[in-house]
Amino acid sequence: MKNISSYLTARVTKIFSQSSQRWLAYSLLLIAYSGMLNSCNEKKAEEPQEEEKETTEVALSESQYKTVGIETGIVEDRNLNKVIKANGYTTVPPQNSAEVSTLIGGTVKDIYVLEGTFVNKGKVLATIQNLEVIGMQEDYQSAAANVEYLQLEYNRQKTLSDENVNPRKTFQEVKAKLAAERARAQAAKNKLDALHVNTKGTTSVVPIVSPISGFVGKINIAKGAFANTGVSLFEVTDNRQMHLDLNVYEKDLGSISIGQVIDFVLTNQSNKSIKGKIFGINKSFSNESKTVAVHAKIDPADAKGLIPGMYVSANINITNATVPALPKDAVVRNADKYFVFVQEENYTEEKHEHKEGEKEEVHEKEIHFKAIEVVPGTTDLGFTEIKFVDKIDSQAKIVTKGAFYLLSAMKGGGEHEH
């Protein structure tokens, strides 16, 4: 019995000793594994710091450059500071626009112009036919003939009156008749002149002439139709004296004065900036919006191609200060900073090493760009004021179109693989 007890005690002691060793081994393995995890985590934490190093350069192949449609330009000086914004439209002075009508009704016989045709003052646009015109000519010719006869009779009666041969009453009667016929002849002539009809001969055709030089606008008649008096038959506009009517709010009136220069762009056209100068300010409100019309003339050379009624966005320059500016599409935002891309002219191409016997590949030429940080200012008329954080060459080629694509390529790595 003692032998059995001794055996069991020795066995249990051995098993317990082995279990302690195993437990110690397991503990050591866990400590080692934890240390490896911590080491890996530290390395992973260090890796993003290396990746966080920002790249400021990007390269495009020539084919990519053409496909994207990259365009470059230089910094320009523009009036963008201290301005009053105003909207309006192009128009012409009242004396440069005409609606042509007729003083006598009639049937349209001929039309000699098309819409868009340039005509000089006095040009016949169309003709109408009215038989009453023949009666006007007859009235004039009859009155003119009576004037001729009464003039002879007047001269004769004056001589007899001066010699006391005839009573003076007879002379006075002839004198009164002559004055009446002269008035009748002149009235008939005035009617024919107003209709642009010749006093000689007889005709029923009345010409419709242009009162000003300009371009024919809308034509409101057709051949064979009846043209009524007081109804517009043609519109003629002379665009050579084009100007702007801008709507300025009451709060800005104190800053507006005659002679101030404006920059404006056509709302539905390109961003080409056109200059003008204020020459008149209305003294009453235009409508319920509490705006006052401000008139600005445009240089005739810049007015070419403009037509009345085109909407414009304008900046009225309160001062003549100029600032460096670029087209607004040239400035891109990355996080909380703003950049422009400058084309690098003297970039040294990286040489590619090839193993002995390996065929040399033909590499397409690359165009390199560098992101330059800027501080943007006022954005007006499609241009943005910029200040460079670091000074650059004034003639540097700056990307004005395609900057957003370059930013995307730069953020994606910007490296070109061969």
| 151: amino acid identity, one letter | Q
Distance, CA of 175 to CA of 158 (rounded, Å): 9
Distance, CA of 327 to CA of 399 (rounded, Å): 9
CB atoms within 10 A of CB 316: 25
**What is the separation of C-alpha 321 from the centre of its chain, rounded to a whole number of angstroms?**
23
Instruction: Reply yes or no on whether the pLDDT at 90 is more than 70.
Output: yes
Higher pLDDT, 49 or 259: 259
Longest dimension (CA), the chain: 200
Instruction: Reply yes or no on whether the pLDDT at 103 is more than 90.
Output: yes
| 198: amino acid identity, one letter | N
Distance, CA of 370 to CA of 74 (rounded, Å): 15
Residue 414: the pLDDT is: 44
Contact 80, 315 (CB under 8 A): yes
DSSP label of 347: P
Higher pLDDT, 349 or 405: 405
Which string of DSSP letters, residue by residue, matches 17-63?
HHHHHHHHHHHHHHHHHHHHHHHHHHHHHHHHHHHTS---EEEEEHH
Distance, CA of 380 to CA of 144 (rounded, Å): 70
Distance, CA of 360 to CA of 320 (rounded, Å): 59
Structure confidence by residue, pLDDT tens digits, 159-212: 887 787 778 888 888 899 999 999 999 999 999 999 999 988 889 999 999 999
Burial class (CB in 10 A: 0-12, 13-18, 19+), 294: buried
Distance, CA of 355 to CA of 341 (rounded, Å): 36
Instruction: Reply yes or no on whether the pLDDT at 268 is more than 80.
Output: no
Domains in the chain and their CATH numbers?
57-79+323-347+363-411 (2.40.420.20), 84-93+239-321 (2.40.30.170), 96-237 (2.40.50.100)
CB atoms within 10 A of CB 303: 19
Structure confidence by residue, pLDDT tens digits, 42-83: 544 444 444 444 678 888 888 888 888 889 999 988 876 567
Instruction: Reply yes or no on whether the pLDDT at 360 is more than 80.
Output: no
Q: What band does 131 get if pLDDT is binned at 50, 70 and 90?
A: very high
Instruction: Reply yes or no on whether the pLDDT at 298 is more than 80.
Output: yes
Average pLDDT for residues 17-37, to the nearest whole number? 51
pTM (2 d.p.): 0.53
**3-class SS of residue 209:** strand
DSSP label of 95: G
Q: What band does 315 get if pLDDT is binned at 50, 70 and 90?
A: confident
Contact 68, 405 (CB under 8 A): yes
Cα atoms in the 13 Å half-sphere on the side-chain side of 121 = 8
- Residues whose CB falls within 8 Å of the CB of residue 205, separated by 6 or more in sequence, listed in order: 109, 127, 128, 129, 133, 197
Higher pLDDT, 13 or 157: 157
CB atoms within 10 A of CB 377: 15
Buried b (16+ CB within 10 A) or exposed e, 33-69: eeeeeeeeeeeeeeeeeeeeeeeeebbbeeebbeebe
Q: Which of 3-7, 273-277, 388-392 has the lowest mean pLDDT?
A: 3-7
> Degrees (nearest 5) of the Cα angle 155, 198, 125?
160
Q: What band does 232 get if pLDDT is binned at 50, 70 and 90?
A: very high
Contact 266, 310 (CB under 8 A): yes
Q: What band does 27 get if pLDDT is binned at 50, 70 and 90?
A: low
Instruction: Reply yes or no on whether the pLDDT at 387 is more than 70.
Output: yes
Average pLDDT, the chain: 81
Distance, CA of 250 to CA of 284 (rounded, Å): 10
Higher pLDDT, 119 or 41: 119
Instruction: Reply yes or no on whether the pLDDT at 105 is more than 90.
Output: yes
